[in-house]
Amino acid sequence: MPQSYTYPISNQWTTEEIIDVVNFLVAVEKVYQGGNSLAAIQASYAKFKAVVPSKSEEKQIDRDFKTTSGYSTYQVVKAMKDALNKQVSAKDKIRLEV
C-alpha cells in the first residue's frame, strides 16, 4: 500500500463538496485498515452521492482511487448494501481485505 497518494477531486467542487468526498474516501480507507461502522459509511456515502450523483462519475472516482490507493469504493458500498440487507446493526464494523 502506498504511504501517500492523492484523492480524486474535481476543481469544479466547492470546498464543502471536496470535504464530503474526501471524508467518504477516508471512510473507505478505514474499512480496509481495520474496519469502520456501518453508520459512518452510510453517512459519508450519502454526502458523497449528493456531490457525485452520476453513476459514471462515481465509477471513475472508484477507478482513480483504486489505482492510487488500492482501495475500492465499489467494494465498500457493496459491503454496506449487503450489511443493510442483512439488517446488521449500525454500530457494527465493516471490514475488507485488499
Residues 46-92 pLDDT 10s: 999 999 999 999 999 999 999 999 999 999 999 999 988 888 776 77
Q: Any idea where the domains of the chain sit in the sequence?
A: 15-94
Query: For residue 32, what pLDDT is reported?
Result: 95
Alpha carbon 76 to its chain's center = 6
Q: For the domain bounded by 15-94, which CATH number is listed?
A: 1.10.220.80
Q: What are 22-37's pLDDT values in tens digits?
A: 999 999 999 999 999 9
Query: For residue 66, what pLDDT is reported?
Result: 96
Query: For residue 98, what pLDDT is reported?
Result: 62
